Structure 1
Amino acid sequence: MDLFNQLILVISVTSFLSFQWLFHRVSPWVSTRVSPGFLRLADKQKVEWNSRTVSTLHALVVGLFCLYILLFDDAINEDPVWGDPTLVKINVGVTTGYLISDLLLIFYYWKAIGDKFFVVHHLAALYAYYYVLGQGMLPYFANFRLLAEFSTPCVNQRWFFEVLGYPKSSRPNIANGMAMAVVFFLVRIAVMPLYYSRMWSVYDTDAFYRVPPGGRAAWIISSICLDVMNVMWMHKIARGCYKVMRSARRHKVGTQENGKTD
């Protein structure tokens, strides 16, 4: 193993340990001081609260680094299959540590945060990232997938509002719900044509055939699996957003007809 790959291994292990520490120590300590409602939660809710807090932090760190790479890393933009993967490997190393950490927590606290779809999601991502970290292939596509992390903070905030008892028709909830639907659509659904058109542009090229069959399977199958789940989640989010907007509109109409507020 060369020096750089040793560094990536250290980054992944450090990431794993850091996210475990954030889950078990930092999140409970900060949450009790920032949100008094945290102390009133049931034990299972506290587990999910800490999990989502860590998830939000990971999404912000990795998402911003991903955007920087996408905008300024000319090497992977010019050669999406075999371009210099240095920065992408660092970002994927951080995400790999997080995914393994989150899988461990999911299995250990299955009754609180167990979700088969998240297990499939994490395993599919780890399978694909194995080829990125091990052989440096497909850096553009691996990095592009991380754009999806920008939707995570709004998704988590929705749960925080719900567990703290915010009415669905409250302004913070509605604003976050709208932001969640828009951001989720932009970074997970609207980008699909761009992603798959770029994939098609390298199909049947020398660069494509240099990728071993296992790497191609990881690239194509994991992409399809993740996007099927993204469409399913988008459908749920859109339905939830529509119901909240209808509820808020009815509340507003009722208030105007009564001539008073509650």
Structure 2
Amino acid sequence: MAVSKRTAMAIKSYRNQAEVLVKNYLLSDPFIPYTAILGGILASKVVYDLTQLISAFYFRGYAGLTKIQRIEWNNRGISTIHALFIATISLYFVFWSDLYSDDNLAGLVTFRSSPFSTFALGVSVGYFLSDLGMICWLYPALGGLEYVIHHSLSGIAVAYAMFTGEGQLYTFMVLISEVTTPEINMRWFLDTAGLKRSNAYLINGVLIFFAWLVARIMLFVYMFYHVYLHYDQVSQMHIIGFLLVFVVPSALATMNLMWFGKIIKGLRKTLAKRQ
């Protein structure tokens, strides 16, 4: 009985120490970015391993894939989970949270941040670092130069907003575009699984078209309009942050338009085959 009581007290003591460690160090304001980045990297590794494990058990065609196809399959599992996470968080901060609302008078909108917003951006930085590392290591099997540019620009912009607290609203606006990633990945999964002529493949193409139009075309127009309306606040940012607000979204918007042209061409080709 005494042993059990001592064990319970020891467990409680370790738990209290762990809580103090998390509260005073890992989640204290100076350490939040580093904790979040590390968490994003570790989460990417866990999701990669889980995707590999689940796919091996539940998808009969997985074992028949080539080594590089299995790596890309697992890699797309990571990007899908990250996209669902960051797109949900971004939608919340941009449209539902009052943190960046014009009705909130707590300072300029371009300088507002919170521990939660900083942590979410840090997780995203961890993902971009992990994915960029895999792309470069296996280049060009997981993506060409456009993917390296996209991930590099995104990672730099997100990291800057995370560390400085500047322009987080516009960073979240851009990150909403990640909502298109699951559809893109599903298209690759269907193609790899030999279901290119299925109805699911056609429906997926239509979903990609509308999701891309809203999240990567119209939303960027809205972001630039918001910057225009709040230019007096944007102009007070540090020169690096000021340039990132204009340069990175402009570059990504250009790439989005180029990819959108390919999406339209691919959808038209798919629909023509169905007639």
Q: TM-score, normalised by structure 1?
A: 0.88
CA distance in 1, matches of 2:201, 2:228: 40
- Asked if 1:225 corresponds to 2:254, the answer is no
Residue 222 (structure 2) aligns with: 194
Q: What are the superposed Cα offsets for residues 147-194 of structure 1, whole Å, 9 maximum, x if unpaired?
A: 1011110100000111111133x2111111111111111111112221
CA distance in 2 between counterparts of 1:86 and 1:11 reads 11
- Superposed, 1:146-157 pairs within 5 Å as 146-157=175-186
Q: The residue matched to 1:191 in structure 2 has which SS?
A: helix
1:1-262 pair list within 5 angstroms: 3-23=28-48, 25-78=49-102, 79-168=108-197, 170-203=198-231, 205=232, 207-249=233-275
How far apart, in 1, do the equivalents of 2:133 and 2:124 lie? 14
Verify the 8 A CA contact 1:76 1:83 in the aligned structure 2.
yes
Query: For 2:63 and 2:177, how far apart are their aligned partners in 1?
Result: 31
In 2: Cα distance, 1:190 partner to 1:34 partner: 38
State whether residues 36 and 120 of structure 2, in contact with CA within 8 Å, keep that contact through their aligned partners in structure 1. Answer: no
RMSD of equivalent CA atoms: 1.7
Query: Quick check: 2:217–2:256 contact (8 Å CA) kept in 1?
Result: yes
Identify if the C-alpha distance between structure 1 residues 22 and 235 changes in structure 2 by more than 3 Å, giving closer, same or farther: same
CA spacing shift, 1:46–1:3, aligned 2, 3 Å: same
* Aligned positions, number: 245
Give unmatched runs, 5+ long, in structure 1.
250-262
Q: Partners in 1 of 2:171 and 2:114 — Cα distance? A: 10
TM-score, normalised with respect to structure 2? 0.84
8 Å CA contact 2:179–2:215 kept in 1: the answer is yes
Between Structure 1 and Structure 2, whose CA radius of gyration is higher?
A: 2
Matches of 1:167 and 1:209 in 2, distance apart?
A: 49
Gaps of 5+ in 2: 1-24, 103-107
* Distance in 1 of aligned mates of 2:170 and 2:137: 31
- Residues 80-135 of structure 1, C-alpha deviations (whole Å, 9 max, x = no match): 31223433222211110000000111111224214211110111112212321121
| 1:23-82 Cα shifts (integer Å, max 9, x gaps) | 2x2111111122111111111111111111111111111111111222222121225312
CA distance in 2, matches of 1:109, 1:11: 26
Q: Would the alpha carbon gap of residues 104 and 74 (structure 1) be closer, same or farther in structure 2, given more than 3 Å must change? A: same
Query: 2:34 & 2:196 partners in 1: Cα distance?
Result: 45
Cα distance in structure 1, aligned partners of 2:199 and 2:251? 35
